[in-house]
Structure formats: C-alpha cells, structure tokens
Structure 1
Amino acid sequence: MKIQTAVAQEQGAQLTIEPVELDSPKANEVLVEIKASGICHTDAAGRDFATTPYPVALGHEGAGIVKEVGSSVTSVKPGDHVVLSFSYCGHCENCLTGHPANCVHLNELNFGGRHFDGTHRIHDENGKDISTFFGQSSFSTYSVVDEHGVTKVPTDVDINLLGPLGCGFQTGAGTVLNYLKPEFGSSIVIFGTGAVGLSAMMAAKIIGMDHIIAVDIHDNRLELAKKLGATEIINSKNHNPEEIIKGLVKSGVEYSIDTTGVPGVIKQAVHVLKPSGTCALLGMAGDVTFNIQEEVMGESKKVVGVIEGDAIPQLFIPKLVKYFKKGLFPIDRLVKYYNYNDINQAFKDSADGSVIKPIVKINQ
C-alpha cells in the first residue's frame, strides 16, 4: 500500500516526508494506522550517528489503531488501540526468562533495518529498500510491526498521548519499578529531568521513597520535577550536587540514575551512592574512567546499564496506563504536540531542551 513516512536519506540529514510503498503484513505481523509518535533521543541518534543503514524511516514511540493482522496473530485484532515498543525475538533465553529488552538479537532487530525474516517492508517509489527503525518506523502514516512489538491499550485514554510509553516513559519508570525495585522509604538521585528522568522520578514517588533528588541544569525542568514529586532539586550548573546530596543523606543514597550520558555526571552518580548502592545508566555515553578500587569495588557499589526499563511491554505498558488514569503518572504534563509537517521543528525543540517530550500527530 502507498503511505507516507519520514526518512533520513543520509547521516545528519533533516527528515523528509516521502511517499513510499509498504508491504502487507506477514503471518506474524500487524498493520497499524499510526495516530501519533513520540520523539526520543534515540531517533536523533538514528538520524545523526548511523545506528541504522541509510536511508532509514525513523520513529519508535508509535501509537495507533490496528487495521489488519496476519494469520498467526492472536493478541490483537482490527480496531484495537495499540502502543508500539521495541522488537525482540521471543525465543532466546533472555526473552523466555522475562527480559526481552536483553534479547540476544536486540540490536539487529531494532537497528539492523530489516524485519525478523531479514527482509524490508518499506520501499521507495523506485523499489529501493528503506531501513525500518526499531521494527516499526512510526513516523509513518501506517506501519507493519511484528506481534512482539505491539501492546494493546484501553480505548478510554487518548491514543495520541500513549506512544512514549513504548520507550522513554517505559525506560525511566521501568528502571525504578522493574529493575531497581527500591524499598519504601529509601533514597534516589536522578541526574537529568527529561522524559526518562521525570518518568523515573514519578515511579519513585509511587514507591514512596523518602528522598527523590532531581539534578539538572535547567531551572524550569527542576521546577516541574518539584511539582511532580521531587523532594529536593539541585541545579548542578550553580551548585556541587555531591556536596549537597551528602548533606541531605550523610551516608549516601541507595540508588542513583543517570539519564544524561555525560561522563562527569556519571561519575557523580556513582560518588553519591552509599556503600553497596546501585547506579543505573540509561543515557547513551562514551568512555568513562573510574578508579575501580576507590570508586566502585572498594565500597561494593554496582554500576549497571538498563535497557527499556527491563520491561515486558505487554505487561508493563498497561500498568503505566493504569497509573496515569489514577493520577499517579501524569505524563500529559510532559508533552507538546506537533503537526506531521513540523517534525523537524519537534526534533529541534527536543534537542535544545525547550520541550520535554514532543509528540508528532500523524493520522488525525
């Protein structure tokens, strides 16, 4: 079928909305009419850092309505509202033990540009293959997605709002609720108050943690963090967060999360931990140098990377929707909507920090 999709033709190029051909869903696949899709830093990485072969149709926080299902699909039917999330094989040891975000095929399925069977679903007007992103390419009017990447959600919540539950909101909240599983009354520091950091912070509030400390360089984001549940806020441009945190929690905090990927901030996130504390790394980062004895092993600290909040999307996303409906996870306060033709402006606003979570409306 003929659709439109937003394509990065080459590294660093702005997206262009182009007419393309989308193949019909195969037995294990679902055709989804995309209503809206969130913009995440991973989309910018796909545009700028060649994570996926070019040309690539970007988008990986899609939400929409099922239009057609393959012959072997049983979890959804036409008319269902769905959120699209990451691709996983469902058959490897990590998938079968409840950790699909650690699927041994995760990188090839999400960044390799092809579907499960090794073929493409999107082709330009000359028949040339276009890479799929995260198994969905949701900056499109329609997407063909493997059943593993589709999660049914209630129809009584605005479908335009829900796409980021498939990645950014899931990553932050899931890191707290699924991976760290902090105790009631414990303490956490969250470095970076973008969509991922604020989602983690709201999850920490759901747990009932005593200290939920938000660190950022933007006062407007810190003020929002305070309204959404942060017990203390620190502008690290003006203050040394390590000194302030040690003043608040003398022995150090049990948990910390870095969402920035900045090497110096990552080191701070480790330094503020109490002995045996855990630092979860969520941001894309390069080299970071530690003195293992003095900074990590000598106090039994744990530094871990967490992907997609260690979530099973089909179980976790509906829980987040329930939290939202109860007023415990107010993601609507983080978003700004854009028209499809304004997608590049939405990327710009995300990059400069003026908008926490842009959402592009597509089929309206």
Structure 2
Amino acid sequence: MIGAGMVGLSVAWWLSEHGHRVALIDPALAQGQSSEAGSSAALGLLMAQIFRRSSGRGWRLRQQSLALWHSWREQLERRGHSMPLRPGLLQLAANAQEWQAQQELVQQRQRQGLPLRLVQHPELETLKPALPAAAMGGLLSPDDGQIDPIPAMKALLTDARRQGLDTLAEPVLRIERSGASKTERWCVHTSSGQRRLSHWLVIAAGLSSPALLAPLGHARPQSPVLGQALELQLPADCNAELWPGSISWGGINLVPRPSGRLWLGATVEPGNTKGSPEALEELLQLGGHAPAWLQQADVVGHWQGLRARPDNRPAPLLEALEPGLLLTSGHYRNGVLLAPASAAWVLEQIQSSEPLPRL
C-alpha cells in the first residue's frame, strides 16, 4: 500500500492485525512526515457523537471510528505503546440559533442512548480558564474527545512492524497493471528502480493520490486546503486541563496540553499554501472573542498542513476502483477521526474478495 499518514498507517496496522502481509511505501517512513502533511498538522479532534447529522454515511463512519479508536487505544496500550486520548468535547453555542440546534440535538442523542448533555450558561461561567463570554451555552459529549496524532502514528507503525509489516521509504514513481498473473495484479515502481508486485493495492497518499491514479484512467481530483495551528504557553494561573475536554468555538478548536499549554487551530484556507497572517490573527483572537488570559498567552509553536478535499465528491473517498485497487483518501478535516473506519472498510474489501462500490 502507498501512504504512511494517519489513514495509511491505520490501514497497514489493521490489516497486519488480521494476519495479512502488508508492504507500506512512503518516503516519510525515513524522513518523517512533511511539515505540511495533513496528519502531522492535525489536532486530532474526535467529533463523532456531537456530529449534527443522525444518519447517513458520515454518521456511520464517525460512530464506527470512535468505537474503534477506543478499542485500538486499549489494545495498543496493553502492548506498551503510548496512545494519548483525552475524553470530552464541549461545543459552544455562539448565538441563539446554535443554542436551539444544540437543544434539539441533545434530545435526539438521548433518544439514541448517547450521553450528550447541555451545559447552561451559568455552568460555563464556572469553568476556568474562562471561555468566551459570548457563549450562550454548550453541548458536552463525554465520549468524543481528542487523540494526539504523532504518538498514535508511532504506535501504529511500531506495532505493525512487530507483526511483520514491510516498509519501503521511497517515493512511488508510478503504478501499473501487472498482467503477470492473477495473483500479482499490480506493480509499483519506486525511485530506486524497485518493482513491487501485489494482488491488492491500497492508495492512501492524500494529495499525491490523483497523480498516481490518473495514468490508470481514474480521475479523482483533490484540492489542498491549508490549515494553520498554534501552540500556546498559558499564564501561570491557567490550566486548560481543568476543562471537561477540548473546546470547539465557531469552528476553532482549543485542545488542552500538559504543562500549561494549549493547541489552538485550525484555519481553513482553500487555495493558499503559505498561510495568511490575517487568518492566523483571527484564530488567535477567537474571531474577536478571546478571553484576557488567551490574549496574554505566549505563542511557542506554529505549524500548518494541507488537507486533501475531494473535488465534487463527498469526503472521504473510499472506493474500489477496479479489482484489487482500493482508494482511501480525501478525508479533508477528518483524517484522524475517520482513519479506523477507513481501515475497516479496506479490510472488508479484501476479506470479501469482491470489490464493492464506493461506500
């Protein structure tokens, strides 16, 4: 398979866990994720039960992934791997319309037996550090949360290698139909001149996927959407870990970190590869609603990444393009969240041996 971001590593580990021999190809295996790679730049928010829809493909994928993340974490930590997963997600309502929508959503979730609850404004005011004063209320999902992407990817890779994962840290030049035999349908050509033959080929290469697929006649264009994020050192009297989880406000996420730090992200900048200073300032100011403690915080880190958003197709792309050729890409802002469900889909295709239409 091609691609060692969060999705690719999840697929490789899950297949290895189920007894499949897997070869994973990506130059990042040697040099690490690019500073602009979507996986390494992600904040790792798990927004599943708090998702506004209650049915359909997006809902099913999110619920499957959330359950898998919790079970994967337990499994990997029993084997000695670090998988920091912080439970809890509090989504704030910025206006009366959002507050009304949250009240309706919590009723739906309670009928489904899910533990979401409303947080009234007086309760919000008791939380420290203080949240934006304009928040009318909030919706707390204790089972959603945030997973740290870098340790998670390291755990998946290390454990997959323990199970026999073969890795090749080289760029892929092209892929082609092998025609050699029914058991070796695909040939991957790498930069060193190696030729890797396989019966199944999984493409999880993000923004590099369209260029690999185009020569085969599969047009799956994806556009880069840049996101910038910050790490802040909070004032000495501030500890965001006292919050009931990560905070979501107007599309901006605040993720508590150890040692009095906070992740703040992420901007949404289509067609931009350098990062807008204005967008970053808007992020830092929480759209004009930053509490005093946040304005006093020191910026100690800044990074950005490019997410792959499918053109004219819903995210993510989970497609059996032809016998033995699977695409799992274009996860846009939900690569970390949906990685386990994507891995489960790939496993289903391979175990059934009958490629299915797009999920």
Q: Normalising TM by the smaller chain, what interval?
A: under 0.3
TM-score, length of structure 1 as denominator length: 0.25
TM-score, length of structure 2 as denominator length: 0.25
Larger radius of gyration: 2
